[in-house]
């Protein structure tokens, strides 16, 4: 029978919730849940609990929200729990070496990529942006350098043509939760041995900047369509028409005209916005949002809005 470990869990967003839930229902003892402080979110900027805080309270767990995990007060509080492991899933703070030495057996991180590829804050989005055919989840032992620790287990999944950031996020969150339990079981049975990463093969997935979502119509269609999927549903890939921001959530490749200027709305397509892209290609927009309006199908959008052929998107 597998031992049930004493764990301090660190996590913040929705991605971490399945892992926390699996630990509890897998019989492990979560002595403390640590998450980021509550912050204003959404249009109304209302202060809301983090997804992990909400899940932890529903499970009856103790929650701490330090501004920094590297204070002496927090160190002493964690030390009192005598954890076997730290489990860290998309937490959002860097740990000191002193803190990482507390758990008796180690600190495990669940990361949404096949390391050493896509170290960093946005591995799901960058895998989509770069047109990867496969991604996955890796469990690793933590060290001070970000996402560079020894690998324990990994689990791969194909990136399907219909995947966007939301669908891939949800699938990887579930894969990560199962992989976490498999990792704890394998460690207890001495069936897994930490393997150093090939650091020379590392690639990086930095936090997204606003300009990363801006569509460059000179790019080939597959690049633009990959960007749109990577930014859906949030923050949304965007372009401009007459100084109005348009967010595009779904599109598909379509035939184009020879020598059409990238960004030009092509003529001859009723109930469709077909836009020329690089390499004499085009993209047909399927779902769109204007300004602060609603996301809608292109046919619904065109009933109340006009982007005539010959217009330029930039």
CA distance 18 to 94: 22
Q: What is the pLDDT of residue 9?
A: 98
Q: Are residues 286 and 139 in the same domain?
A: no
Q: Kindly tell me if the per-residue pLDDT of 212 is higher than 70.
A: yes
What percent of the chain is predicted at pLDDT more than 70?
A: 98
Per the omega criterion (within 30 degrees of 0), is the bond before 166 cis? Answer: no
The CB-side HSE value for 77 (13 A sphere, CA atoms) comes to: 17
Q: Are residues 105 and 46 in the same domain?
A: yes
Q: Which residues neighbour 198 within 8 Å (Cβ) at sequence distance 6 or greater?
A: 116
What is the Rg, in whole angstroms, of the alpha carbon atoms belonging to the chain?
Answer: 23
Contact of 289 with 247, CB cutoff 8 Å: yes
- At residue 281, the 3 state secondary structure works out as strand
Q: Are residues 30 and 49 in the same domain?
A: yes
Q: Evaluate whether residue 311 is within a structural domain.
A: no
What percent of the chain is predicted at pLDDT more than 90?
A: 89
The 10s digit of each residue's pLDDT in 213-268 is 999 999 999 999 999 999 999 999 999 999 899 999 999 999 988 899 999 999 97
Q: Evaluate whether residue 268 is within a structural domain.
A: yes
Q: Are residues 94 and 171 in the same domain?
A: yes
Q: Which residues neighbour 79 within 8 Å (Cβ) at sequence distance 6 or greater?
A: 102
User: Among 27-31, 43-47, 91-95, 148-152, which is the least confidently predicted range?
Assistant: 43-47
State the pLDDT confidence band at 144, using cuts at 50, 70 and 90.
confident
The 10s digit of each residue's pLDDT in 38-51 is 988 776 778 889 99
Residue 35 DSSP symbol: -
CB atoms within 10 A of CB 48: 14
Higher pLDDT, 257 or 177: 177
Which of 201, 227, 246 is the last residue before a domain boundary? 201
Q: What is the pLDDT of residue 25?
A: 93
CA distance 285 to 99: 49
Residue 252: CATH number of its domain: 3.10.25.10
Q: Are residues 51 and 156 in the same domain?
A: yes
Q: What is the pLDDT of residue 65?
A: 97
Contact of 65 with 34, CB cutoff 8 Å: yes
pTM value surpassing 0.85:
yes
Q: Evaluate whether residue 149 is within a structural domain.
A: yes
Range of the domain at 249: 210-304
Which of 182, 201, 220 is the last residue before a domain boundary? 201
Q: Are residues 26 and 157 in the same domain?
A: yes
CA distance 44 to 32: 31
CA distance 290 to 173: 31
Total structural domains within the chain: 2
The mean predicted confidence, pLDDT, of the chain is 95
Helices (H) and strands (E) in the chain, counts: 8, 14
State the pLDDT confidence band at 1, using cuts at 50, 70 and 90.
very low
Q: Are residues 260 and 151 in the same domain?
A: no
CA distance 18 to 37: 20
Q: Evaluate whether residue 313 is within a structural domain.
A: no
Q: Kindly tell me if the per-residue pLDDT of 147 is higher than 50.
A: yes
């Amino acid at each position: 029978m597998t031992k049930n470990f004493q764990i301090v869990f660190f996590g913040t967003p929705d991605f971490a919730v399945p892992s926390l839930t699996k630990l509890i229902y897998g019989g492990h003892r979560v002595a403390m849940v640590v998450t980021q402080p509550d912050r204003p979110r959404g249009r109304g900027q209302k202060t809301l609990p983090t997804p992990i805080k909400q899940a932890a309270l529903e499970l009856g767990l103790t929650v701490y929200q330090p501004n920094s995990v590297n204070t002496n007060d927090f160190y002493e509080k964690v030390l009192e729990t005598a954890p076997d492991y730290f489990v860290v899933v998309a937490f959002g703070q860097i740990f000191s070496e002193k803190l990482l030495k507390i758990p008796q057996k180690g600190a495990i991180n669940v990361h949404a990529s096949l390391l050493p590829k896509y170290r960093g804050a946005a591995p799901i989005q960058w895998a989509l942006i770069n047109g990867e055919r496969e991604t996955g989840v890796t469990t690793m032992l933590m060290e001070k350098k970000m996402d560079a620790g020894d690998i324990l287990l990994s689990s791969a999944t194909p990136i399907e043509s219909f995947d966007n950031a939301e669908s891939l996020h949800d699938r990887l969150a579930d894969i990560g939760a199962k992989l976490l339990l498999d990792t704890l079981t394998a460690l207890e049975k001495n069936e897994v041995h930490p393997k150093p990463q090939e650091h020379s093969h590392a690639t990086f997935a930095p936090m997204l900047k606003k300009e990363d979502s801006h569509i460059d119509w000179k790019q080939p269609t597959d690049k633009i369509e990959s960007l749109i999927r990577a930014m859906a549903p949030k923050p949304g890939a965007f372009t401009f028409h007459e100084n109005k921001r348009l967010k595009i959530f779904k599109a598909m490749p379509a035939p184009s005209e020879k020598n059409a200027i990238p960004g030009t709305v092509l003529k001859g397509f009723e109930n469709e916005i077909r836009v020329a892209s690089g390499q004499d290609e085009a993209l047909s927009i399927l779902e769109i949002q204007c300004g602060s309006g609603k996301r809608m199908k292109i046919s619904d959008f065109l009933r109340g809005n006009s982007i005539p052929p010959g217009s330029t998107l930039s």
